[in-house]
Amino acid sequence: MLRLIRRIVFTIALLLVSIQSWAQVLFTADAPALTAMGSPFRVEFTVDAEPDSRSIAAPSFEGFELLAGPSVSTGHSVQFINGKQSSSYSCTFSYVLLPEREGTFTIGAATIRVDGKEYSTKPFPVEVVAEKGNAKSSGKGASTRNPENQISKDDIIIRLKLSDTDVYKGEAIRASLVLYTRVGIDHIESLEMPPFDDFWSQELTFDNDPSREEYNGKVYETYKIRELLLSPQRSGEIVIPATEMTVVAQIVQNNGRGFDPIFGGRQIYHVTRKLKSDEQKISVKEFPKGAPASFAGAVGRFSLNAKMPEAQIKANSADQISVTISGEGNLKFITAPKFRLPESFELYDTKSVDNIKVTASGTSGSITYTYPFVARSAGRFTIEPVEFTFFNPSTGEYTTLATERFTMEVLDDGKSSGEVVHAGVFTDYGGSMRQLDRDIRFIHNVAVPQRAASVFIFSPLYWLVIVASLAAFVVVYVLMRRRIRLNHNVVARRMRRADKVAVQRLRLAEKYMKEQNRHPFYEEMLRAMWGYIGDKFNIPVSALTKETIREELYRRGVSSADAEQFCQIISRLDEAQYAPVSEDDMSSVYGDAVEVISKIESIIKH
C-alpha cells in the first residue's frame, strides 16, 4: 500500500517536472525595420510568462531619443477548446523612440528574468532615413479641416513591382501589386488588373503582412494586394498597362472641440482615392540561335531521369519506359520528349503525371512521362537515348540532357504473332490504345475541279425520270395486255375452227379416196390429223410429235387408249403413204380417223 502511494506520488512529481520543462518562455522584440527622421516609433518587448518584478533590462537605444517608456501592459486569456483548457499570458514593455540621426542602428538585446531564469531578445537593426520634401503639413490650420486635403497625392500609391524586366521568353517573372500608404486604409473598393495577354500567368499565394518600405524618399506602410507569376509567351517589348484601384482611406481628425464631453474630440473621415499604377515595360529576348533539334521551349534548370524497362521481356508483352523531368522553370509548357523505338515496338499514348508547385521563385516540381509499348517480335533491341534540351536563362545557354543507351532482349513467346498480352501497364489505358505517329495519306489527283453539284433527289429532274418511267410502264403494260388479248382471240378462233378444218380436209380425202388417188389421200389425211391437234391445242407445227400429242390429249382428259389409237392411225397413214402396195384399206383408215376425231371432239367439248 505504502509502495503504491509512493509510486503514485513519484509519477505525479515526474509529470509536473515534465510539464515545467515543456513550458518554454518566449521573449521577443518588435519594431519597424524602417523609419523616417522625425517620426517617433514604438519598440515592444513581449514575454509570454509572468516576469520577475522589475527584472526588465532595456538596451541602450543608441541613436534614438527615448520619448516614453517603459509602459507595461499585461494580458491573460483562458481558452476552452473541445473541453481542453489552455491559457496564455503576455506582458509587453513598450518604449517610444525618436530617431536622432540618419543611418542604420542596432537595438541591442533586452533581458528579462522569469522564475529566476534569464532570457534575452535578439538584437535587430532599424534603418532611419530622411524624407525628401517632408513638408508634412502638420499645421493645424483651417484648411486641414477638409479631410480631402489631409492626404497628399503621394500619400497613397499603387505599384506593380516586377522581379525582372529583361528576361528570355518563357522565363518566369514575379509581379507583385503593392499598395504604399502613409495613411490608414479602411478598405479597397475596386481593383482592375490589366489583362496579361502576352503572358502565361498564375496567381501566387502570399502572406499579406504589412511591412515598411522607403520609396521616393518617404517611408510607407506597404501591403501586397496581388502576386502573380508571369511568363512571357512572345519576344519583343511587352507593355503591361496600368492597374487601376480605388481605395478608401481613413482620416482621424481633431475636430477642434477637443474638450467636448460628448463627442470626444476626434472624428473619423473616409476619403475615396482613385489610384493608377505606372505602365511597365518588359523586354523579352528571343532564344539565341543554334537551338538543338530537341529543344521544344523548355526554359529553366532541369534534370532528366529515365526508368528503363526490364532487360528481358517476352514478345507481345507490354512494358513501359518512364522519363522524369524535374527542376525549376516552365514545366507546364514542356512537351514529352520523343522516343524512337525499334520498328517492331508498338508505342501507345504517352501518359504524363505532374507534380508542379507554383512558388514565388517560379514553377518547380517534376513531370513523369510514361511510354507504354508492346514488343512484337523477338530479338535484341537497342533503345536509342532520348534527348531533352532546355534553355538556361541565367547562363544564356542551351543544355541538352540525354538518357543512356539501353539494350533489351525480347524473348520468343512461343506463339506466332497473336494477341497482345496485356500487362498491368495497360489497365488504365482501357480501350484508348492508339498507334501514335501515324502519317496522313497523300493528296488526290484532281485534273479539273468540280463545281457544287445540285442535289438530285426530289429535284424536278428526279420527278421527271420517275414520272416518265411510270408512264412508260403504263404504256407498255396496256399495249402488252391488248396484244395478249388479241393473241388469245386468234387461238380461240383457231381452236373453234379446228374441227371444221379437219372436216374439210377429211372431205377432200374422201374425194381422193373415191378417185382411188392414193398419194393425195394419205397426204390430206395426215394433214387433217396433225392440223386438228395443232389448231385445237395451239401447238406450233414444229413442236408437233406423237409424244406431245399423247401428252396434250392426256392433259385434256382423253383416255390413253384413244390417244394411242390416234397415234396408231398416224403411224398407219405414214406407213401407207410410202408403201408400194397398200395392205390397208383406205376406207377403213378413213373410218377410224373420223371416228377417233369425233370421239376426242366430244370429250374435249365436255
**333 touches other proteins (CB under 8 A):** yes
Q: Which of 57, 268, 465, 490 binds other proteins (CB under 8 A)?
A: 465
**486 touches other proteins (CB under 8 A):** no
Give the number of residues in contact with other proteins, rule: CB under 8 A: 43
Residue 241 host element (H or E): none
Task: Please choose, from the candidates 291, 341, 302, 287, the residue with its C-alpha nearest in 3D space to the C-alpha of residue 319.
Answer: 341
* The Cα angle at residue 138 between residues 134 and 141, in degrees rounded to 5: 135
Residues belonging to the chain: 606
| Beta carbon nearer to other proteins, 240 or 284 | 284
**491 touches other proteins (CB under 8 A):** no
| Piece of the chain touching other proteins by CB under 8 A; list 222-230, 250-258, 274-282, 451-459 | 451-459
Cβ(40)–Cβ(96) under 8 Å?
yes
Q: Which of 417, 469, 489, 559 binds other proteins (CB under 8 A)?
A: 469
**460 touches other proteins (CB under 8 A):** no
**135 touches other proteins (CB under 8 A):** no
**484 touches other proteins (CB under 8 A):** yes
* Alpha-carbon separation of residue 171 from 165, 175, 273, 296, 327 (angstroms): 11, 13, 35, 14, 13
* The Cα angle at residue 94 between residues 90 and 99, in degrees rounded to 5: 150
Q: Which of 473, 500, 588, 595 binds other proteins (CB under 8 A)?
A: 473
Query: Rounded CA gap, 154 and 603, in Å?
Result: 137
| Beta carbon nearer to other proteins, 233 or 253 | 233
Peptide bond into 309 cis (omega under 30): no
**406 touches other proteins (CB under 8 A):** no
Q: Which of 6, 340, 357, 434 binds other proteins (CB under 8 A)?
A: 434
**23 touches other proteins (CB under 8 A):** no
Cell matching residue 210:
504589412
Give the per-residue SS3 of 326-349: EEEECHHHCCCCCCCCCCCEEECC
Task: Please choose, from the candidates 435, 441, 432, the residue with its C-alpha nearest in 3D space to the C-alpha of residue 343.
Answer: 435
**310 φ, ψ (degrees, to nearest 5):** -60, 150
How far apart are CB 248 and other proteins at their closest, in Å? 24
Q: Which of 2, 135, 262, 455 binds other proteins (CB under 8 A)?
A: 455
| Piece of the chain touching other proteins by CB under 8 A; list 290-298, 403-411, 524-532, 573-581 | 290-298
| Beta carbon nearer to other proteins, 312 or 445 | 445
**476 touches other proteins (CB under 8 A):** yes
**488 touches other proteins (CB under 8 A):** no
| Beta carbon nearer to other proteins, 488 or 507 | 488
How far apart are CB 470 and other proteins at their closest, in Å? 7
Task: Please choose, from the candidates 367, 370, 348, the residue with its C-alpha nearest in 3D space to the C-alpha of residue 356.
Answer: 367
| HSE, side-chain direction, 13 A CA sphere, residue 179 | 26
- What is the contact mask toward other proteins in residues 163 to 182, using x (rule: CB under 8 A)? ------xx------------
**337 touches other proteins (CB under 8 A):** no
Strand bridging mode 184-192 / 244-254: antiparallel
Angle between helices 560-578 and 586-605 (to 10 degrees): 150
- What is the contact mask toward other proteins in residues 313 to 332, using x (rule: CB under 8 A)? --------------------
Cβ(538)–Cβ(492) under 8 Å?
no
**389 φ, ψ (degrees, to nearest 5):** -115, 135
Cell matching residue 539:
401447238
| Beta carbon nearer to other proteins, 411 or 465 | 465
Render 343-366 in DSSP notation, one character per residue. Answer: TTEEE---EEEEEEEEETTEEEEE
How far apart are CB 550 and other proteins at their closest, in Å? 23
| Beta carbon nearer to other proteins, 99 or 337 | 337
How far apart are CB 335 and other proteins at their closest, in Å? 7
| Beta carbon nearer to other proteins, 53 or 445 | 445
**453 touches other proteins (CB under 8 A):** yes
| Piece of the chain touching other proteins by CB under 8 A; list 355-363, 378-386, 417-425, 440-448 | 440-448
Residues in touch with other proteins (CB under 8 A): 169-170, 235, 286-287, 295-297, 333, 335, 434, 438-453, 455-458, 462, 465-466, 469-470, 472-473, 476-477, 480-481, 484
